[in-house]
Chains A and B, each alone.
Chain A
């Protein structure tokens, strides 16, 4: 079974500063992928970034980077130079990449990020 834990129900950050959203996971799969999604108040789920468990380098995508620490089973999202439009709920999710395993995403409970002007 897979489990995602997001311990920060809410976070505040000043505009233009960086913020780290925490995510820890638990899985017995040797191979897995980690995802971050953004959910604005309008409700849609926007894919942000992906990290494979065997990737040597941390994933980056524009202002988003994923601080992947495999030994600690953490996959924190770092948003640099926060913008007001970054205010949203952020979900961490994972999926097994082991052949024959279930393919669905398992989500954490989310972190509500508010960017202050």
Chain B
């Protein structure tokens, strides 16, 4: 069964460092998303991406964040200068249609900023 794949599963980084979280969406999907979940809290939307550009972004997605689809398969989230409060689980998701009946999530990357 096709699935969304995220790497790494865990990342520990020092405050101020740049991190890149990687995702391989389901191959025929066209819409891609990043969400984050701070420990013990609800899942929050960060950004959606379609046709090589950002469709929507939340207020969390400030200038420290960027997304890219560098090739036909990968979808990355970059945090330029990590802060302690960026520690969270980051989920990538993809869907075939913008308002599809399913949105498949990856297994998440747990980012710890120390």
Contact = CB atoms under 8 A, between A and B. Distances in A.
A43 B41 CA distance: 13
Contact of A103 (B35, B56, B102, B104): B56
Interface bracket on B: 20 to 34
A47 B103 contact: yes
B111 to A, nearest CB: 12
Interface in B6-43: 31, 33, 35, 41-43
A108 B106 CA distance: 19
B110 A106 contact: no
Listed residue (B41, B93, B101, B104) with the most chain A CB atoms within 10 angstroms of its CB:
B101
Given A104-B33, A110-B42, A50 B105 contact: no
A106 B45 contact: yes
Contact of A44 (B44, B58, B105): B105
B102 A43 contact: no
B7 to A, nearest CB: 14
Contacts of B56: 102-104
Interface string A57-101: 000000000000000000000000000000000010101110001
B89 interface: yes
Given A43-B108, A44-B106, A103 B98 contact: yes
B44 A37 contact: no
Contacts of A50: 101-102
B55 interface: yes
Contacts of B43: 45, 91, 93, 105, 107
A44 B108 contact: yes
A35 B106 contact: no
A20 interface: no
Given A43-B110, A45-B43, A97-B99, A103 B48 contact: yes
Interface of B: 31, 33, 35, 41-45, 48, 55-56, 58, 89, 91, 93, 95, 98-99, 101-108, 110
Which 6 A-B pairs give the minimum distances between C-beta atoms?
A45-B105, A44-B107, A104-B45, A107-B43, A97-B99, A103-B98
